[in-house]
A = this chain, B = another copy of it.
Amino acid sequence: LRIAELSRDSGVPVPTIKFYVREGLLDPGHLTSPNQAQYDESHLRRLKLIRALAEVAGLSIATIRQLLAAASSPATSPRDALGKAQYATTPRYDYQASEASRQAATGQAEELIRAHGWRINPNSPAKELLTGVLAALRDLGQDDLLSLAEAYAGPAEQIAAADLTVIGARPTLDSQLESVIIGTVLGDTLLAALRRLAEENASIPEGVRPAAAVAMGLRPEPDASAS
C-alpha cells in the first residue's frame, strides 16, 4: 500500500499518519525509492487501532504509546503478558487526597477486596485507582456515594467473567493481548454507554411512563414489551 491508499483504507489523513510514525506509534513503511514508502496490512491494522483508541476512547497519544509498548514488550508468560496489558489500560490520575480521606479510602478498598475474596497484587494500579476515587468522594463530602463501590462489585465480577471468556477463546497470545487492550479500553466506553441507557430507562417514573415518553420525544413501546 502507498501512503495515500493507507490513508483511504484507514480513514486517517496522511499528515496524521506521518505524525504517528514520527511519534513512534506506527512503524515506518518500507522505502522503495528515496521518497516512496510501502505499507502493508499490519500498518493498516495498527492504524485502525490507534484511531479507535484516540477517537472513540479519547485516549491521549502518550497513553496510546504506553498501551502499544505494553502489548509488544517481551513477556515471560501469557499470564505476565496479559497482566502487563491490563495494567497499561488502567487510567492514572494525579489527584492528591487529604491524608484523612486517603487513609479511610485505603481501609474501605482493602475491606472490599477482602470481603470478595479477591487476590490482588499490592501494587495493582486498579487498587490505587479505586482508593483514589473513594478518597476524592470523601474530600468532596459525598459520603453517600461511597456505598456504590460495594453495589458495583457484584456487577463488576459478572463483567470481568464475560471479558475473560472472550479473551480466553482467542487462539493465540497475540490475539489475546489485542483483545485485552481493545476490550478493556473500548469496554469501559461500552459500559459507560450501557450504564447511561439503563439509567435513562430507569429514571422514567413507572406511573407516568407513557406521558413522559410523549413529552420527551421517546418512542412509546407497546405495554406488552418485555421489561
Contacts and interface: CB of A to CB of B under 8 A. Distances in A.
Contacts of A57: 93
Given A136-B52, A144-B169, A218-B121, A156 B191 contact: yes
Given A133-B193, A203-B83, A204-B119, A55 B183 contact: no
A96 interface: yes
Task: Give chain A's interface residue range (CB within 8 Å of chain B).
Answer: 35 or more
A149 to B, nearest CB: 6
B188 A129 contact: no
27 contacts: A52-B95, A56-B95, A83-B200, A86-B199, A90-B192, A91-B189, A114-B221, A116-B201, A119-B200, A121-B218, A126-B196, A127-B193, A129-B192, A129-B196, A133-B186, A142-B178, A144-B166, A145-B179, A148-B183, A149-B194, A151-B159, A152-B159, A154-B158, A160-B199, A161-B198, A163-B195, A164-B202
Interface of A: 11, 45, 48-49, 51-52, 55-58, 79, 82-83, 86, 89-91, 93-96, 98, 113-127, 129-130, 132-134, 136-137, 139-142, 144-145, 147-149, 151-164, 166, 169-170, 178-179, 182-184, 186-205, 209, 212-213, 216-221, 225-227
